[in-house]
């Protein structure tokens, strides 16, 4: 991702990717890094074609003749330590796909996301941009003026709420598969092929999620967030089914972070309609602030379908760059989780399973000690570079990030009341088929 502002932090990490085939016959002893001024480290996503092998980090060497660079020998040595990944599955056929991007008053970020989506290597897809209660015409003007492409449509959803916007996109979708992403991402050119390949892993696969690595690590806040979320490092293909609980996930199917995140997932349109779409009591723009991705992932599993994690389905994400934005995000994550757990408690089928998983869940929360809910680790500054980062808002950095973790945990307690209030205001616990009919009438 292009960074509009040069890094001022000594621990800034330059982000890129490399294919092992390009390293077979390197030219020279160093590889130049474009736009690497001010960066001390480089992180490369290593691929073998479409297959993701993993990440490597190396120091950036600044040479007078070429600027920031990596030593070829050091890079080759790092790459050699990566495990060989499972081969990708090629689909028998390529179903039509509708990409849905929900946005609100972020036209500048949407421009980059749309540009990358339209460059995707896939034969049959269209794009629906949902302008969710935007306060200006900037989003519509951007799409109409800069993306006058027959594959792109823009639809306005006047009522705020990410789930409601996603349902609007679902109803407008024409593809057999509906792929969702955010407006602050850059998608890989193979993204849709990889998502579709995930559906080929079984006839019961209804949902496929992908890898969401950091596209920018310019500030300490971005590095902290990156170190604390598990979905940015899900590098192994996994298939989840309620009938076959994985031994390594004692809280399954209530496994926060293991399935992926809302910035990168796809569902069969027919299955999503049968489920009644997204629960509009969840999501950014509502009182609950989040939880809509957790809800749909678990509902897919409880409906008897499979969920596949396909790391080769790659979407680069720009994390929040300042502490204030991170705090707001932490509140949304925590409140959304508390709201989702309330829904689980109100569902007899889910609650039976949750009771059996409760001891493991309690141990997981006890291990947080201020860490975020996406990770089992406590919230401390990671590595010497983060520990010596400059003070944030006059506060010691290590203490500042620890407080963010506690903010998220404490926000969980707000979830139940906000969920029930959101329900009371018009989103009832209705039968999925009734909800589908209600959606269709809109």
288, 280 in Cβ contact below 8 A? no
Q: Which residue has the higher pLDDT, 111 or 223?
A: 111
Note the pLDDT tens digit of each residue in 327-339: 888 888 899 999 9
- Which residues, 6 or more positions from 306, have their beta carbon under 8 angstroms from its beta carbon? 201, 202, 204, 205, 206, 207, 239, 240, 241
Secondary structure letter of residue 87 according to DSSP: P
Residue-wise burial string across 79-98, b where 16 or more C-beta atoms lie within 10 A, e elsewhere? beebeebeebbebeebeebb
Instruction: Give the Cα separation of 231 and 50 in Å (integer).
Output: 19
Which pair of structure tokens corresponds to residue 180?
């969702």
Pick from 94, 128, 97: nearest CA to 113: 128
**Maximum Cα–Cα distance across the chain:** 67
CB atoms within 10 A of CB 233: 16
CA distance 149 to 137: 19
Whether the predicted model's global pTM rises above the 0.95 cut:
no
How many Å is the Cα radius of gyration of the chain? 22
Confidence of residue 392 (pLDDT cuts 50, 70, 90): very low
The secondary structure of residue 23, as a DSSP letter, is G
Interval 294-352: pLDDT, tens: 999 999 999 999 999 999 999 999 877 777 777 888 888 899 999 999 999 999 999 99
In this predicted structure, the answer to whether residue 435 has a pLDDT above a threshold of 90 is no
Closest to 131 (Cα-Cα) out of 110, 88, 102: 102
Q: What angle do CA 117, 119, 123 make, to 5 degrees?
A: 95
Task: Show the domains of the chain with their CATH numbers.
Answer: 13-80 (no CATH), 97-323+430-441 (3.90.550.10), 324-419 (no CATH)
Decide: 374 and 228 in contact? Cβ < 8 Å. yes
Of 180, 88, 163, 165, the C-alpha closest to 134 is 165
Q: Does 401 have pLDDT greater than 70? A: no
How far is residue 237's CA from residue 407's CA, in Å, rounded to a whole number?
A: 32
Tens-digit pLDDT profile for residues 193-203: 999 999 999 99
Helices (H), 347-369: 348-366
Report pLDDT digits (tens) over 83-115. Answer: 877 666 676 789 999 999 999 999 999 999 999
Q: What does the alpha-carbon distance between residue 90 and residue 198 come to, in Å, rounded to a whole number?
A: 9
168 neighbors 130 (Cβ within 8 angstroms): yes
Distance CA 237, CA 216 (A): 24
Backbone angles phi, psi at 376, to 5 degrees: -90, 5
Spell out where 192-243 has E strands.
205-211, 238-240
Which two structure tokens, joined as six digits, stand for 343?
């829904």
* Contact status, residue 121 vs residue 189, Cβ threshold 8 Å: yes
Least confident stretch, 18-22, 39-43, 126-130, 230-234: 230-234
Q: Is the pLDDT of residue 431 over 90?
A: no
């Amino acid at each position: 991702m292009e960074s509009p502002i040069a890094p001022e932090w000594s621990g800034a990490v330059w982000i890129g990717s490399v294919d092992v085939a390009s390293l077979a016959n390197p030219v020279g002893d160093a590889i130049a890094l474009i736009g690497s001024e001010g960066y001390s480290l480089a992180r490369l996503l290593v691929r073998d074609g479409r297959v993701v092998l993993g990440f490597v980090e190396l120091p950036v060497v600044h040479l007078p003749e070429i600027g920031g660079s990596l030593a070829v020998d050091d890079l080759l040595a790092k790459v050699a330590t990566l495990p060989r990944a499972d081969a990708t599955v090629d689909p028998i056929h390529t179903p039509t796909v509708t990409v849905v991007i929900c946005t609100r008053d972020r036209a500048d970020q949407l421009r980059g996301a749309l540009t990358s989506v339209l460059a995707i290597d896939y034969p049959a897809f269209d794009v629906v941009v949902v302008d969710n209660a935007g306060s200006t015409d900037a989003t519509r003007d951007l799409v109409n003026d800069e993306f006058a492409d027959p594959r792109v449509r823009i639809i306005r959803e006047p009522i705020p709420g990410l789930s409601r916007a996603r349902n609007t996109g679902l109803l407008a979708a024409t593809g057999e598969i509906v792929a969702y992403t955010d407006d602050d991402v850059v998608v890989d050119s193979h993204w849709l092929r990889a998502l579709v390949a995930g559906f080929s892993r079984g006839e019961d696969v209804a949902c496929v999620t992908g890898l969401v690595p950091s596209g920018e690590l310019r500030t300490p806040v971005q590095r902290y967030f990156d170190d604390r979320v598990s979905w940015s490092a899900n590098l192994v293909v996994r298939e989840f089914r309620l009938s076959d609980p994985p031994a390594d996930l004692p809280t399954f199917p209530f496994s926060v972070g293991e399935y992926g995140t809302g910035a990168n997932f796809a569902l069969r349109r027919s299955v999503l309609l049968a489920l009644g779409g997204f629960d509009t009591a969840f999501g950014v723009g509502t009182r609950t602030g989040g939880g809509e991705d957790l809800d749909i992932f678990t509902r897919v599993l409880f409906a008897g379908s499979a969920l596949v994690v396909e790391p080769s389905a790659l979407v680069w994400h720009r994390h929040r760059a300042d502490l204030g934005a991170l705090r707001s995000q932490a509140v949304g994550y925590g409140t959304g989780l508390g709201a989702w757990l309330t829904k689980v408690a109100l569902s007899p089928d889910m609650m039976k399973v949750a009771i059996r998983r409760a001891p493991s869940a309690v141990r997981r929360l006890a291990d947080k000690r201020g860490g975020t809910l996406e990770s089992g680790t406590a919230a401390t500054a990671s590595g010497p570079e983060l520990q010596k980062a400059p003070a944030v808002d006059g506060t010691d950095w290590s203490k500042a990030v620890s407080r963010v973790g506690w903010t998220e945990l404490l926000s969980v307690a707000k979830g139940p009341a906000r969920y029930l209030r959101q329900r009371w205001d018009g989103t009832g616990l209705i039968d999925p088929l009734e909800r589908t009919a209600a959606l269709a009438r809109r």
